[in-house]
Structure 1
Amino acid sequence: MVPILVVVLAVSVGTFMLFAVDARARSEVADWLSRNGFQLLEIEARAFKKGPFTFTGSPNQHVFRIEARDSAGGIVKGWARYGDWVFGWMSDEVEVRWDDA
């Protein structure tokens, strides 16, 4: 009976961590955009198609496809990467690359 409880607890904690890290990554990207004069309109996590971050990232980083409104009211699209190469989500690093116009 005890091993089943340990497995259930481990799965529960793991699931919680996945959701918590994803929420933090989305929040940090939105904060970065806000500090730089943008309003986040849409954010989509990408696990496979990572745009310009496809071959330059690590599994510790989160990549998002983003759409934002700039200070002039225009709509811009691009890619955002959260976390650094080694420490991933334990870093607050955000890098954004905008699509070519």
Structure 2
Amino acid sequence: MADANAAGDKTVIIKKYANRRLYNTRSSSYITLDHLAQMTREGIEYQVLDAKSGNDITHQILTQIILDEEANGEQMLPVNFLRELICMYGNS
């Protein structure tokens, strides 16, 4: 159990509020998706929780970061890869 707590201590909890604001509970400050993207690049572990329900929405937020990066001209994902991803959702 101590190992689980130690691993949990390294994970930064981010709360997402209904007004779409993101709150870093470790630094007690509001942050942006750009901040989360930078945290990801730096290898910082975080979990994004819906502030009202407590549900883990990290997957949705990471997907949103990728979409924002792609929309801003940082097109890293080849079209064929994107097509494969879509096909994977249809086969699950």
Q: Give TM-score scaled by structure 1 length.
A: 0.22
More strand by share: 1
Q: Give TM-score scaled by structure 2 length.
A: 0.23
